[in-house]
């Protein structure tokens, strides 16, 4: 295909936007091609002036009528040829597929994709108007025009729109418009005469001229006549001679413009977009002027954080929200502030007011944290208020949705409006009210109730109506509803009586007793008459359902469960055996009647749920009998009648049944389900808060400081690690970080003993002078490293042992240089995560993992908060609560840990300029109030775009770095440190370059005036004194004043605060205190000093051992590595690497015995822990043990036993103990049999089946029997998941032991039993399974196969075999006589020597088939149904196998006679008793077939006519298949 564009190509971009052509060259421009030469085959037009004039006026000159008639046929032929060419060209272009394009590009080096894509796009259409018009022109020129003589050339046609796009007009456009219109008219309105056509042209030309006049003229074209244009055209051409050279660029430009805008969603995977926070939700979070954490439904640390859809509270909602939140703040607050005898009952209104202020800041003004501390509320309670506020917002959304749905019902329900709606205070009540309204309205107004929430996608779509109708709905629509109304009181009135202290509704008594009253509603004329008792039952069901679904009554039941419920735990059969006294679940194994209120303070309930998930226990939550009886009694009182007549008592009994049914089927189940989930939520929340507090303890500490350093100073750190401490593999790695956290030096040393390495280490200390040395590692060898470092730092040295190993470090004092550098251990849990993290690879790609580990240690010492904040979502991997943390859902744990990070980060503030330049320090920025990962990312990018450095906080607003609410949230925590030399920056106003000392304090910008006022008053200055200075100049003066503390303390802040409150009601007393402290010490260190690690913490970090694993009295395994002959002590090592010692007095009970006489080096023995010695300053950790027999004999069960819960079911525990002891004694009494046989195993039935599951068919297991010591059980594999268990009785006779299976099968030993019984039976089974009539699968599948065959062949009958899955070792013979019959099934029992069809035994499968056919024929004749089946089911038309082809006649010798002695498959002698002896033969007088095992005797011969064997069936042993083939089983005849 040529690369030259076809005539119908789209107009190129340079043609669209190119220079306009002069008006005077209309005819030439229309008729000429790109080279100025016409390619028209017709004669040239005559130079007629009148014709040219008419052309300039916008007409195309028509030929004479005679010529038009003559050429009419010619034009049609041309049009057809053009259409064919156009269609062929399109097919060729469309046929060029992707592979063709790749091949063309590969061979020519030219890209055809853009050009061809552009062509295809041109045909399909373009969104622009110009494109569509161009398409119209092209199509007209190809398909619709009559005469090529009048056609303008293609390129000139493509130029006709140029002037229109350039804003001018040309007459040739008029000509072309007329030309197109002419053809359109000729096709669409052929009957129009010439005059009408001309009038229409004139009208369109007039409109076109008006349009062009409005667009303006082209002055550069004025004054050029047609002759001038002819000369210009002759000299310069039409400007398109070199279009071929620009074609590629034009197409490329066109493609770039026509391509859709590329978005990152088209390039990156959705998971990567989420990880980079580039989703639409992320953009929305960044843009909204709302704190980021308040926009999220989950923690901002979570990689799956989602956007919250809750609406913010309004001022109208604050009072209700404050009351709702305060009542749920904590039980202590409720008790102290709202109980009548509470110590702070008088401050209850003040507490509600404080909560309303907090909610107003949180959800109205959208402040993430209150800057002013309210004395009534602690910081932890403020977070609780925040969480409850979120829940209230959710409740408000759902409650509003419920009210809107009720309004759509267009019904009036006084009970709902006055009683239910005002008391909806939880989402459970919203759900209850929804269900109640649905129940009430569903009967009369189906589908009218439809609840819509804010996240419903399509509110107008129709929902499918449930097809099931409840019994309540059926009864409610029947006459039974009238009987329910006869109970004298409506259900909601019962609930009102129950809730109210008095009794506003009374019962109307009936004159008849319930049964007599119910007889009126039995409707005897109905099809199914109902007894009065049944009608009464249905009426009770109606009332019980309506009472049980009442939202107020359900809430009362939930409140009752919340306070009065109890929990009991019962172990399952599996749990009884698995949960022993040392199991962690033993604590609650027999928990009994534990109050639910006592489960809130621990994680026990979460462990119970985990045990239940493991199917070890069952959990029961229930009401106490007293609470349940009280509730039932109150409900009965609200429902019962006060009359004392017999009729009233009868009705009260019916009402009591209604109450019992409502409790049993509705109220108690809903309360139980809610209590379970509520308790789980409460415990998870409490445990998450506990983990958050643990994290806060670790991060709310200042960097480590030496004695003379100022608080807040960041030290330089030298981190050292020996890794796992292997002298042959691990080197000592040293990493030095300076005060700014930058890596300054990284060194590796083989040891610290050799002089060269020793000098290199000391030289490093001299050069760098670190403030602190940190030691860390993964084994106890780290303690030796720390000890050696302390020796060098303190001026001591050591010599290597004989082998030069570090493990032989010894010390001797010398006069080495002494360094005053502390050596400490630090918690390395963050460093262990960091060394393998992607962050470490990005920051220090060249460092080894141990060096990265050292970087983590050093950073932890410099700023623990920064290290934990940098973990991100991996922070959940930190172990804060060893036993319970894994029970907390990840999202809850992340939220709790994030709150701890937010608290401490805002406590110390973030230097915004450092955060922009330091990517590691930048991890703190998302935890500033108002910010988050997305907003922090956007903020740093904006600051970097204006120069990367801020001078004052005003720039956050002036430079549009933060929105208003975000600025108000975070301004007080974003500090701007003072720079002595201000760096030049761009895009900054002159007045922005002024630093403000208040920007480096915790004082919020809205309180700057207060700070300046306090500084002015403290310095006793007037406004005139500082008029020309910066507003914060006085702040600088008071900060630099040596006596500033006295001057500020002399201010009367209380009076100042009172005056502010009286003037503007501003509560600023606490704020004034904060301002005074900040003026004295800006951003003073408020964190606790860096805590040293405790000895047990160090031991756990290095070895993994804890106080629990090294408790005194535990027995552990130790390895002897040295015997000290001088002290007669034995040095041992635990598996964890901790060393231990066994002194001579703990070696023997008989006195002091030399250790060499008792133990030896390298021996492993058990020892009892006597004591654990921990000497952290000396880095000495060891365990003292005892190996005396008297100590070991006592065991350590008492020390390992898990403590039982106080609420313990002792009786059940003792009963289970007794039952277990009885079973154990029975197992002990039943001695384990030991039989020397390769197939014998001490298995039970389940173990045997599991063992045989992967074996082949016919494999056998012999095992003990549960029937006694004189029984054996034989299990063999019949098929996959099918096993036969044979009970074998051992009978001792005078001649020996006989193994009896049944009366006909007795064997002398196990070998004979296996070969002559099991394997013989297996052979029979496999022989039948190899038959063509055998169907693998279930019996139902065989039935379906038979039915399908008969349906396809109505004149035939069919039969088949399948395994009997219910009786292993048996088969089912299923047959279908004809299409009108049913499938019948006959049982087949398999014995070692025959198949038994009912009681008839046959030797082989052909004989079995014959026996079946004879029996079936006999039954058919006896039943007189010879015509029923059409034919005897001989297997779909196969002739009756009277004589089996290739075999002997059935009934005689289908299986060959073999030698009388059976070979022993185990190589022993042939058994003397019964082995190959008299075995019962079949009813066909057949001798037993050749048993399997061993080699085939020579007398065993092949059939006379050998047939090719089919494939071996799956799962069949190949040797058995060969035996079956050689005997009689795989011939082709007879089956």
What is d(CA 1091, CA 1086) in angstroms, rounded to the nearest whole number? 14
Question: What does the pLDDT look like over 288-299, one tens digit per residue?
Answer: 888 888 888 888
* Mean pLDDT confidence for 1458-1472: 36
**Which of 1360-1390 are b and which e, b meaning 16 or more Cβ less than 10 Å from the residue's Cβ?**
bbbbbeeebbbbbbbbbbbeeeebeeeebbb
Count of helix runs (H) and strand runs (E) in the chain = 60, 27
The confidence band for 851, taking pLDDT boundaries of 50, 70 and 90, is very high
- Are 1181 and 1099 within 8 A, CB to CB? yes
What is d(CA 846, CA 852) in angstroms, rounded to the nearest whole number? 10
What is d(CA 537, CA 541) in angstroms, rounded to the nearest whole number? 6
Residue 517: pLDDT above 90? no
- Are 374 and 337 within 8 A, CB to CB? no
Instruction: Work out the burial of residue 1193: count CB atoms within 10 Å of its CB; fewer than 13 is exposed, 13-18 middle, 19 or more buried.
Output: exposed
Question: What does the pLDDT look like over 1288-1330, one tens digit per residue?
Answer: 998 888 778 888 998 888 898 888 899 999 999 999 998 989 9
- Are 940 and 911 within 8 A, CB to CB? no
* Mean pLDDT confidence for 1110-1131: 89
Q: C-alpha distances in angstroms, 927 versus 275, 446, 870, 951, 969?
A: 18, 52, 11, 22, 12
Residue 87: pLDDT above 90? no
Instruction: Please give the mean pLDDT across all residues of the chain.
Output: 75
pLDDT of residue 1489: 40
Question: What does the pLDDT look like over 120-144, one tens digit per residue?
Answer: 333 333 333 333 333 333 333 334 4
Question: What does the pLDDT look like over 581-593, one tens digit per residue?
Answer: 889 999 999 999 9
The confidence band for 855, taking pLDDT boundaries of 50, 70 and 90, is very high
What is d(CA 1044, CA 495) in angstroms, rounded to the nearest whole number? 70
What is d(CA 487, CA 101) in angstroms, rounded to the nearest whole number? 86
What is d(CA 1365, CA 1362) in angstroms, rounded to the nearest whole number? 9
pLDDT of residue 669: 94
pLDDT of residue 1531: 37
pLDDT of residue 1064: 77
Which DSSP state fits 773?
E
Residue 412: pLDDT above 50? yes
Residue 270: pLDDT above 90? no
* Mean pLDDT confidence for 210-222: 52
* Mean pLDDT confidence for 1073-1095: 87
The confidence band for 382, taking pLDDT boundaries of 50, 70 and 90, is confident
What is d(CA 1378, CA 470) in angstroms, rounded to the nearest whole number? 45
Question: What does the pLDDT look like over 312-349, one tens digit per residue?
Answer: 777 777 878 888 888 887 777 777 777 777 777 777 77
Residue 1428: pLDDT above 50? no
pLDDT of residue 241: 66
* Mean pLDDT confidence for 1333-1355: 88
User: What are the start-end ranges of the E strands in 864-1010?
Assistant: 910-911, 974-975
198: left (phi over 0), alpha (psi -120 to 50) or beta: alpha
Residue with tokens 């002290």: 1127
Whether the predicted model's global pTM rises above the 0.85 cut? no
User: Which residues, 6 or more positions from 1177, have their beta carbon under 8 angstroms from its beta carbon?
Assistant: none
Distance of CA 994 to the CA centre of its chain: 51
Residue 708: pLDDT above 80? no
């Amino acid at each position: 295909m040529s690369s030259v564009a076809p005539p119908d190509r789209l107009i190129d971009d340079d043609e669209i936007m190119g220079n306009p052509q002069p008006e005077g060259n209309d005819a030439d421009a229309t008729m000429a091609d790109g080279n100025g030469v016409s390619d028209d085959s017709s004669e040239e037009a005559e130079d007629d002036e009148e014709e040219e004039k008419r052309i300039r006026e916008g007409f195309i000159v028509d030929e004479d009528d005679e010529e038009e008639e003559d050429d009419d046929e010619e034009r049609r032929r041309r049009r057809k040829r053009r259409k064919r060419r156009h269609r062929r060209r399109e097919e060729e272009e469309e046929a060029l597929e992707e592979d063709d394009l790749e091949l063309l590009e590969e061979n020519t080096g030219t890209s055809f994709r853009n050009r061809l894509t552009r062509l295809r796009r041109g045909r399909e259409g373009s969104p622009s108007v110009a494109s569509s018009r161009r398409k119209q022109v092209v199509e007209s020129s190809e398909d619709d025009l009559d005469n090529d003589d009048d056609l303008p050339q293609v390129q000139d046609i493509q130029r006709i729109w140029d002037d229109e796009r350039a804003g001018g007009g040309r007459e040739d456009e008029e000509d072309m418009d007329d030309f197109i219109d002419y053809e359109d008219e000729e096709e669409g309105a052929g009957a129009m005469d010439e005059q009408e056509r001309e009038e229409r042209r004139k009208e369109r030309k007039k409109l076109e001229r008006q349009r062009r006049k409005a667009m303006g003229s082209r002055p550069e074209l004025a004054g050029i006549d047609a002759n001038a244009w002819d000369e210009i055209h002759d000299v310069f051409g039409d400007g398109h001679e070199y279009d071929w050279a620009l074609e590629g660029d034009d197409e490329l430009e066109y493609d770039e413009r026509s391509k859709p805008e590329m978005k990152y969603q088209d390039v990156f995977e959705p998971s990567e977009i989420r990880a980079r926070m580039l989703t639409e939700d992320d953009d929305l979070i960044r843009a909204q002027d709302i704190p980021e954490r308040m926009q999220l439904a989950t923690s901002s640390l979570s990689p799956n954080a989602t956007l919250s859809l809750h609406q913010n509270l309004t001022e109208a909602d604050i009072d209700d929200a404050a009351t709702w939140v305060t009542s749920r703040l904590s039980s202590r607050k409720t008790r102290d502030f709202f109980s009548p005898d509470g110590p702070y009952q008088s401050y209850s209104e003040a507490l509600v007011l404080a909560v309303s202020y907090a909610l107003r800041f949180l959800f109205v003004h959208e402040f993430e944290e209150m800057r002013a501390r309210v004395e009534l509320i602690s910081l932890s309670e403020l977070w609780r208020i925040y969480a409850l506020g979120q829940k209230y917002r959710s409740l408000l959304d759902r409650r509003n949705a419920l009210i809107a749905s009720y309004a759509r019902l267009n019904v009036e329900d006084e009970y709902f409006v006055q009683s239910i709606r005002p008391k909806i205070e939880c989402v459970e009540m919203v759900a209850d009210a929804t269900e109640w309204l649905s129940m009430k309205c569903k009967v009369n107004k189906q589908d009218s109730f439809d609840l819509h929430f804010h996240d419903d996608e399509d509110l107008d779509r129709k929902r499918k109506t449930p097809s099931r109708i409840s019994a309540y709905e059926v009864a409610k629509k029947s006459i039974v509803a009238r009987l329910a109304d006869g109970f004298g009181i409506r259900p909601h009135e019962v609930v009102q009586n129950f809730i109210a202290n008095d009794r506003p509704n009374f019962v109307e008594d009936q004159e008849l007793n319930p049964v007599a009253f119910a007889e009126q509603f039995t409707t005897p004329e109905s099809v199914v008459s109902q007894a009065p008792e049944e009608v009464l039952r249905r009426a009770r069901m109606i009332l019980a359902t309506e009472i049980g679904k009442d939202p107020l009554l359900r809430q009362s039941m939930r409140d009752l469960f919340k306070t009065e419920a109890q929990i009991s735990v019962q172990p399952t059969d599996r749990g009884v055996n698995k949960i022993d006294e040392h199991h962690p679940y033993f604590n609650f194994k027999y928990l009994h009647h534990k109050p639910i209120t006592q489960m809130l303070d621990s994680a026990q309930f979460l462990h119970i749920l985990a045990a239940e998930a493991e199917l070890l226990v069952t959990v029961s939550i229930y009401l106490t009998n007293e609470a349940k009886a009280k509730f039932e009694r109150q409900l009965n009182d609200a429902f019962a009648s006060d009359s004392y007549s017999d009729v009233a008592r009868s009705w009260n009994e019916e009402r009591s049944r209604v109450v019992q049914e409502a409790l049993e089927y509705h109220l108690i189940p809903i309360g139980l389900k809610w209590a379970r989930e509520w308790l789980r939520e409460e415990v998870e929340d409490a445990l998450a808060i506990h983990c958050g507090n643990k994290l806060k303890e670790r991060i709310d500490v200042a960097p480590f400081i030496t004695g003379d350093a100022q608080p807040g100073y960041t030290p330089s750190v030298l981190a050292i690690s020996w890794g796992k401490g292997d002298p042959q593999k691990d080197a000592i790695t040293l990493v030095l970080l300076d005060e700014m956290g930058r890596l300054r030096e990284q060194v590796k040393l083989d040891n610290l003993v050799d002089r060269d390495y020793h000098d290199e280490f000391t030289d490093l200390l001299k050069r760098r002078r670190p403030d602190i040395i940190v030691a860390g590692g993964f084994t106890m060898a780290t303690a030796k490293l720390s000890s050696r470092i302390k020796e060098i730092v303190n001026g001591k040295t050591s010599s290597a042992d004989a082998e030069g190993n570090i493990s032989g470090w010894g010390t001797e004092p010398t006069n080495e240089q002494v360094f005053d550098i502390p050596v400490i251990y630090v918690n390395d849990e963050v460093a262990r995560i960091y060394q393998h993290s992607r962050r470490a690879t990005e920051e220090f790609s060249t460092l080894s993992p141990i060096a990265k580990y050292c970087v983590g240690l050093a950073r932890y010492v410099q700023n623990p908060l920064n290290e934990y904040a940098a973990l991100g979502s991996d922070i959940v991997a930190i172990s804060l609560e060893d036993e319970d943390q894994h029970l907390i859902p990840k999202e809850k744990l992340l939220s709790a840990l994030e709150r701890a990070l937010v608290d401490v980060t805002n406590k110390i503030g973030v230097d915004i300029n450092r955060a922009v330049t330091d990517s590691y320090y930048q991890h703190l920025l998302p935890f500033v109030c108002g910010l988050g990962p997305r907003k922090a990312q956007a903020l740093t990018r904006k600051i970097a775009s204006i120069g990367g450095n801020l001078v004052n906080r005003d720039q956050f607003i002036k430079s549009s770095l933060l929105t208003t609410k975000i600025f108000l949230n975070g301004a007080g925590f974003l500090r701007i440190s003072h720079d002595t030399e201000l760096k030049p920056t761009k895009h900054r106003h002159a007045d922005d370059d002024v630093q403000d000392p208040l920007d480096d304090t915790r004082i919020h910008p809205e309180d700057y005036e207060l700070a300046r006022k306090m500084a002015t008053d403290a310095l006793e200055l007037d406004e005139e004194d500082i008029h020309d200075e910066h507003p914060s100049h006085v702040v600088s003066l008071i900060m630099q004043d040596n006596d500033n503390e006295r001057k500020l303390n002399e201010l009367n802040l209380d009076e100042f605060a009172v005056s502010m409150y009286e003037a503007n009601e501003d509560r600023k007393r606490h704020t004034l205190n904060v301002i005074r402290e900040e003026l004295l010490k800006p951003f003073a260190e408020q964190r606790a000093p860096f805590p040293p690690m405790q000895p047990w913490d160090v031991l756990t970090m290095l070895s993994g051992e804890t106080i629990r694993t090294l408790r005194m009295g535990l027995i552990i395994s130790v390895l002897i590595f040295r015997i000290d002959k001088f002290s007669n002590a034995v040095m041992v090592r635990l598996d964890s690497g901790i060393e231990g010692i066994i002194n001579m007095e703990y070696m023997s009970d008989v006195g002091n015995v030399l250790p060499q006489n008792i133990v030896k080096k390298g021996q492993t023995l058990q020892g009892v822990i006597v004591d654990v010695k921990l000497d952290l300053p000396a880095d000495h950790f060891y365990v003292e043990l005892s190996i005396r027999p008297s100590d070991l004999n006592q065991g350590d069960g008492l020390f390992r036993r898990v403590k039982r819960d106080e609420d313990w079911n002792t009786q059940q525990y003792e009963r289970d103990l007794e039952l277990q002891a009885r079973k154990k004694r029975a197992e002990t009494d039943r001695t384990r049999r030991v039989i020397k046989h390769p197939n014998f195993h001490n298995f039970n039935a389940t173990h045997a089946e599991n063992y045989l599951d992967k074996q082949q068919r016919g494999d056998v297991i012999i095992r003990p029997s549960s029937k006694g010591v004189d029984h054996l059980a034989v299990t063999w594999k019949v098929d996959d998941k099918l096993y036969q268990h044979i009970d074998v009785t051992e009978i001792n006779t005078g001649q020996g032991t006989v193994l009896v299976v049944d009366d006909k099968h007795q064997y002398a030993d196990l070998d004979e039993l296996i070969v002559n019984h099991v394997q013989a039976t297996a052979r029979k089974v496999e022989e039948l399974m190899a038959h063509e009539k055998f169907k693998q699968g279930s019996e139902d599948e065989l039935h379906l196969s038979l039915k399908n065959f008969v349906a396809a062949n109505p004149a035939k009958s069919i039969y088949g075999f399948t395994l009997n899955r219910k009786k292993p070792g048996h088969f089912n013979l299923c047959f279908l006589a004809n299409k009108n019959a049913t499938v019948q099934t006959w049982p087949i029992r398999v014995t070692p020597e025959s198949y038994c069809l009912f009681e008839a035994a046959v030797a082989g499968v052909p004989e079995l088939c014959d026996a079946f056919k004879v029996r079936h024929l006999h039954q058919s004749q006896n039943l007189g149904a010879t015509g029923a089946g059409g034919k005897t089911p001989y297997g779909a038309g196969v002739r009756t196998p009277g004589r089996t082809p290739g075999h002997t006649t059935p009934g005689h010798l289908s299986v060959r006679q073999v030698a009388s002695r059976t070979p022993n498959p185990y190589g022993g002698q042939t058994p003397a008793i019964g082995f190959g002896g008299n075995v019962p033969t079949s009813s066909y007088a057949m001798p037993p077939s050749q048993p399997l095992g061993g080699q085939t005797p020579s007398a065993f011969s092949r059939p006379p006519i050998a047939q090719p064997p089919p494939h071996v069936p799956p799962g069949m042993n190949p040797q058995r298949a060969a035996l079956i083939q050689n005997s009689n089983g795989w011939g082709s005849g007879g089956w």
